[in-house]
Amino acid sequence: MKKSIYSILKGTFLVSDDSFKNWRVILFISTLAIVMIASSHSADKKVYEIARLKNEVNDMRSQFIDGRSKLMRLKMESEVMSAMVEKGIAPSVIPPKKIKVKSQQ
């Protein structure tokens, strides 16, 4: 046990005759660590992108609601009437007449 710990601390396990299997394990573990780090960074990027898109959706939704409320206000009869009075157009005092179309059959 003591000999193996000294071997690890001195690094002689990397240069001994049977060191090929040690190098393979070290390279395999290093590759796995690199893949794990890259995967973690990719997941973090996706989380930040999702948060940014959620904020953008909320902003667009509030703009849509604001535009819809402005449109509802502009479509009100009182708003239309006041805009037409400014242009010199007044509502008709004569009620509209219903037009009946008879079919030619």
pLDDT in tens, 31-90: 999 999 999 999 999 999 999 999 999 999 999 999 999 999 999 988 888 888 888 888
d(CA 21, CA 13): 10
pLDDT at residue number 33:
97
Q: pLDDT value at position 23? A: 83
Residue pair 90/84 in contact by the 8 Å Cβ criterion? yes
Say what the pLDDT of residue 10 is: 77
Q: The tokens of 19 are what?
A: 């060191």
53, 62 contact by CB (below 8 A): no
Spatial separation of the C-alpha atoms in residues 4 and 17, rounded to whole Å: 15
pLDDT digits 0-9 by tens, 10-42: 777 677 777 777 788 889 999 999 999 999 999
CA distances from 46 to 35, 42, 59, 83, 95 (A): 17, 6, 20, 50, 63
